[in-house]
């Protein structure tokens, strides 16, 4: 184990991984979402698609886990279970796509998905209908496809909840619990179906520290009265990550 930690510490891209984890935590701290939207495009420069997804779900899951008891009190748990059910059905399909696609295709898919979501959020284009059980199941299923193929199960669910009439407290709790469930599911399936280097698990564990620091700072600086300013900053960081993650800059990590 010590040898693995020493090998991880000597990895050329470690600083990149830690910086991306910190930025992801900072954004998540004051928006309640954004881990994959920031982390995936940035670390795709130094890790393969599967490695990027697995390392992320490790630190994201462990980082949120202590909050689960409190979140369960605030959340609408039946809706979270419906989201999870939809996700279970489609995540394996997304993981198959992840396995088959090239690194450039992965980076392109992830970045384009993020830019589309970001555009929808900025221009206020969201689902405006009633949040029925069918819609919840469907958004969870779409999240499973996105989560498996690009490590980002959040976009469909974020869109429907930001447009819903649910209190912000419930929305935030539902999104975080859904993300926690998604992390666990993707981790288990990746462990079963992919040959993952032990070094990747170490990257995920090491990244817990900067991620937790980022979440803490993001939570502290958030002021509900100045929500617009902080959301604008989050959108800028997410947009930069997505643009930098596009496979046009000459960086390529071979699977």
Alpha helices, H only, the chain: 2-9, 14-31, 35-43, 49-64, 68-74, 77-100, 103-122, 133-150, 155-162, 168-193, 198-206, 208-221, 227-245
> What's the whole-model pTM score?
0.80
Q: How confident is the model over 134-144, as pLDDT tens digits?
A: 999 999 999 99
In Å, what is the CA distance from 48 to each residue of 6, 65, 127, 183?
21, 26, 33, 18
147 neighbors 91 (Cβ within 8 angstroms): yes
> Between residues 223 and 37, which one has the greater pLDDT?
37
Tell me, what's the pLDDT at 86? 96
CA angle (242 as vertex; 246, 39 as ends), nearest 5 = 110
In Å, what is the CA distance from 230 to each residue of 31, 158, 220, 222, 227?
8, 17, 12, 7, 5
Tell me, what's the pLDDT at 56? 94
| Buried-state track 221-232, b at ≥16 Cβ within 10 A, e below 16 | ebeeeeeeebbe
What is the DSSP code (8-state) at residue 10? T
Structure tokens at 147: 């989560």
Tell me, what's the pLDDT at 255? 45
27 neighbors 237 (Cβ within 8 angstroms): yes
Percent pLDDT > 70 in the chain is: 90
Q: How confident is the model over 6-19, as pLDDT tens digits?
A: 898 899 899 999 99
CB atoms within 10 A of CB 217: 15
């Amino acid at each position: 184990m010590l040898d693995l930690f020493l090998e991880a510490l000597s990895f050329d891209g470690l600083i990149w991984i830690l910086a991306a984890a910190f930025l992801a935590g900072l954004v998540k701290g004051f928006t309640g979402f954004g881990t994959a939207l920031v982390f995936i495009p940035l670390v795709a420069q130094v890790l393969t698609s599967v490695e990027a997804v697995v390392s992320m779900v490790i630190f994201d899951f462990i980082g949120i886990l202590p909050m689960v008891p409190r979140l369960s009190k605030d959340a609408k748990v039946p809706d979270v279970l419906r989201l999870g059910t939809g996700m279970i059905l489609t995540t394996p399909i997304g993981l198959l796509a992840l396995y088959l696609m090239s690194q450039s295709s992965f980076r392109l898919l992830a970045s384009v998905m993020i830019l589309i979501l970001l555009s929808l959020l900025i221009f206020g284009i969201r689902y405006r209908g009633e949040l029925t059980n069918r819609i919840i199941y469907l958004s969870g299923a779409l999240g499973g496809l996105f989560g498996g193929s690009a490590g980002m199960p959040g976009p469909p669910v974020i869109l429907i909840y930001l447009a819903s009439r649910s209190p912000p407290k419930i929305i935030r709790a539902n999104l975080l619990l859904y993300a926690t469930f998604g992390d666990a599911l993707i981790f288990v399936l990746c462990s079963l179906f992919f040959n993952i280097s032990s070094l990747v698990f170490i990257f995920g564990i090491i990244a817990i520290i900067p991620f937790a620091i980022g979440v803490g700072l993001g939570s502290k600086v958030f002021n509900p009265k100045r929500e617009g300013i902080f959301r604008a900053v989050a959108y800028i960081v997410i947009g930069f990550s997505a643009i930098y993650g596009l496979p046009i800059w000459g960086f390529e990590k071979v699977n």
